[in-house]
Amino acid sequence: MLSTENIPSASTLFATYASMTASLMLFRSMANDFLPEPVRNYACFAFRYFFKPRSKELTLVIEDSNGIARNQIFEAAEAYLSAKIGPSIERLKICKTPNEKVITIRLEKNEQIIDSFRGVQLRWRFALVEAADGKGNSHSMRPEKRLFELTFHQTHKDMVLNSYLPHVIELAKDMKDKTRVLKMYTLHRVPDYDAIRWDSVKLEHPATFDTLAMEPDLKATIMEDLDRFVRRKEFYKRVGRAWKRGYLLYGPPGTGKSSLVAAMANYLKFDVFDLQLGNVTRDSDLRTLLLSTGNRSILVIEDIDCSVDLPDRRNGNENNADAQSKAAGAAVRKNKTDFAGGKGQHMLTLSGLLNFIDGLWSSCGDERIIVFTTNHKERLDPALLRPGRMDMHIHMSYCGPYGFRLLAANYLGITDCEHKLVAEIETLLKTINITPAQVAEQFMKSEDADVALAALIKLLKEKERNGSGDVDGDEDEINLDEVAILESKKLKTQDQIQDKGKETAAGPIRRRRKRSSGRVRKSKN
């Protein structure tokens, strides 16, 4: 039973209230009289600070950019949240550009998503706000700012900043990699502006490390090297090196150098910039082109021995030194003339290119891979081969038993090690050089495995009979053998020379043609 004895009466309550109010008023008037104003203000501030009702939540505001550069956390949140959309969401934005593989889903204004991480609840809200300066976002050219608000209990601030947001960024990167469309950039001249720029197409080269016929140890080494390179950002920073890596791929035509570049791009999900030096006549163009390449990309210069001619520094004899100084003098004179004429042409040299790649360009970006390919490593300038420039030299060689088996499995579905023709081919491969391209070409001739293998045996035996291996061995001449590849490259180079010849007359860039002598005569290793 509730007793009424302890409950104060209304008159008692009123009396207490009146006496407290009187005391407060007395206290206030005394404080006004005796305390100086700054002390009173401070006391008021302290009183309000300690007795103010507090929100226990903290909200992080993540804007889409800082006015100039994109905000990485915003972009990551966009991608991350698109995978967290639940049934509570009422409005969504969807979009798909021609280059994208999948439909992109984004939150609409004011939509919220509740996420949880390590048992902590986090609330995301997407908002659009008018920019304070009325100019909006100069980066995206929008009149308003897009932002995410991330709200959670204050006690989890450190966990959110140090663990949750890095987790969101990491997951978003993986998601983007999966849906990323690789691009292949090639050079395009804009005649009206006498300029040259990159044009991109979707890179759909199907080569992967699984389809590449090469020695398994070498393949594993390359893959490990690439993995190590991409995960060592901090290492490169610590030792003061630009985050780039150079690969020199050398070997006879048709051994898979270009295919390896495509496999690397597909493996790392990097774009490819194919720098055809034959199309670049000026240092200034080269600089602009290199600076407009993106991060996470592979810059490829194919057939580097045919692209640019250098004064030969290997022989170092007096005549050669004379020739070099004359060439340099001529180049300087030409530069002066051209500057006077306003054209600003420079001599394009391999060392100039390498210095630029080593210096300014490589320090302007992250995760850059540079690949040079050549059929003749021995013809390359030592500047290219010096330690630290091309970090890894990869020899792409003729087809060995492992490569042959991989191609037989991929092209013909042969997994039977006991197949009698397979055994015969493996014996022949021990003494005869044949490129993976030639093997693949034979395998394309028939869907019947026995017929295709017999065609390969025929070609191998013809090579054996001719001793030097300088044989196309194909009566119907459908095969694209080394000679044909060589001829097509020569024609390509000749075209470039003719094209450029029109522009530069006897200009400073001299392109070296591939010599056929010795190229198709293979030494048997």
Binding positions for Mg ion, rule: CB under 5 A: 257-258
CA distances from 107 to 1, 86, 149, 304 (A): 58, 11, 13, 49
164 φ, ψ to 5°?
-65, -50
Q: Would the CA dihedral through 58, 64, 69, 70 be positive or negative?
A: positive
Q: Which of these segments, 73-81, 92-100, 307-315, 432-440, binds ligand ATP (CB under 6 A)?
A: 432-440
Task: Tell the smallest beta-carbon distance from residue 485 to ligand ATP (Å).
Answer: 5
Q: Using CB distances below 5 to 8 A depending on partner kind, what does residue 436 bind out of ligand ATP, Mg ion, none?
A: ligand ATP
Q: Based on CB atoms, which residue is closest to ligand ATP, 348 or 440?
A: 440
Dist. CA 443–CA 411, nearest whole Å: 6
User: How many residues does this entry show for the chain?
Assistant: 525
CB atoms within 10 A of CB 227: 12
Q: Based on CB atoms, which residue is closest to ligand ATP, 189 or 379?
A: 379
Task: Tell the smallest beta-carbon distance from residue 488 to Mg ion (Å).
Answer: 11
- Applying CB under 6 A, does 76 fall inside the site for ligand ATP? no
- List all residues 6 or more positions away from 299 whose beta carbon is below 8 Å from its beta carbon: 273, 275, 290, 293, 357, 368, 369, 370, 371
Dist. CA 81–CA 84, nearest whole Å: 5
Q: Which of these segments, 21-29, 38-46, 254-262, 449-457, binds ligand ATP (CB under 6 A)?
A: 254-262
Q: Which of these segments, 160-168, 363-371, 433-441, 500-508, binds ligand ATP (CB under 6 A)?
A: 433-441
Task: Tell the smallest beta-carbon distance from residue 485 to Mg ion (Å).
Answer: 9
- Applying CB under 6 A, does 278 fall inside the site for ligand ATP? no
Which amino acid is it at 208? T
- Applying CB under 6 A, does 255 fall inside the site for ligand ATP? yes
- Applying CB under 6 A, does 522 fall inside the site for ligand ATP? no
Beta strands in 2-103 (DSSP E): 57-63, 92-95
> Which listed residue (150, 354, 369, 440) binds ligand ATP by CB under 6 A?
440
Task: Tell the smallest beta-carbon distance from residue 304 to ligand ATP (Å).
Answer: 11
Q: Based on CB atoms, which residue is closest to Mg ion, 81 or 265?
A: 265
How far out from the chain centre does Cα 422 lie?
Answer: 40
Count the residues of the shown chain that bind ligand ATP, applying the rule CB under 6 A: 17
> Which listed residue (308, 437, 452, 456) binds ligand ATP by CB under 6 A?
437
Please give the angle made by the CA atoms of 369, 373 and 377, to the nearest 5 degrees.
125
Task: Tell the smallest beta-carbon distance from residue 375 to Mg ion (Å).
Answer: 9
Dist. CA 444–CA 476, nearest whole Å: 14
- Applying CB under 6 A, does 485 fall inside the site for ligand ATP? yes
Task: Give the CA-trace dihedral at 457, 459, 462, 468, to 10 degrees.
Answer: -120
Dist. CA 281–CA 227, nearest whole Å: 36
Which residues from 289-348 bind ligand ATP, rule CB under 6 A?
A: none
Q: Using CB distances below 5 to 8 A depending on partner kind, what does residue 351 bind out of ligand ATP, Mg ion, none?
A: none
Task: Tell the smallest beta-carbon distance from residue 207 to ligand ATP (Å).
Answer: 7
The tokens for 315 are 């022989």
Dist. CA 480–CA 473, nearest whole Å: 11
Dist. CA 512–CA 308, nearest whole Å: 7
Q: Based on CB atoms, which residue is closest to ligand ATP, 81 or 304?
A: 304
Task: Tell the smallest beta-carbon distance from residue 173 to Mg ion (Å).
Answer: 31
Q: Using CB distances below 5 to 8 A depending on partner kind, what does residue 390 bind out of ligand ATP, Mg ion, none?
A: none
How far out from the chain centre does Cα 21 lie?
Answer: 73
Which amino acid is it at 354? L
Which residues from 353-382 bind ligand ATP, rule CB under 6 A?
A: 375
Task: Tell the smallest beta-carbon distance from residue 482 to ligand ATP (Å).
Answer: 8
Q: Using CB distances below 5 to 8 A depending on partner kind, what does residue 433 bind out of Mg ion, ligand ATP, none?
A: none
Q: Using CB distances below 5 to 8 A depending on partner kind, what does residue 438 bind out of ligand ATP, Mg ion, none?
A: none
Beta bridge partners of 199: 186
> Which listed residue (436, 469, 473, 508) binds ligand ATP by CB under 6 A?
436
Q: In the complex, which residue's CB is closest to ligand ATP?
A: 256
Q: In the complex, which residue's CB is closest to Mg ion?
A: 258
Which residues from 184-243 bind ligand ATP, rule CB under 6 A?
A: 211-214
CA distances from 438 to 88, 285, 448, 483 (A): 59, 38, 18, 11
- Applying CB under 6 A, does 259 fall inside the site for ligand ATP? yes
The tokens for 26 are 């007395």
DSSP, residue by residue, 375-427: S-GGGS-HHHHSTTTSSEEEE-----HHHHHHHIIIII----TT-HHHHHHHH
> Which listed residue (156, 219, 257, 346) binds ligand ATP by CB under 6 A?
257
Q: Based on CB atoms, which residue is closest to ligand ATP, 137 or 259?
A: 259
Dist. CA 350–CA 73, nearest whole Å: 40
Nearest to 513 by CA among 371, 300, 306, 363: 306
Q: Which of these segments, 133-141, 166-174, 255-263, 292-300, binds ligand ATP (CB under 6 A)?
A: 255-263
- Applying CB under 6 A, does 137 fall inside the site for ligand ATP? no
Query: Contact residues for ligand ATP (CB under 6 A)?
Result: 211-214, 253-259, 375, 396, 436-437, 440, 485
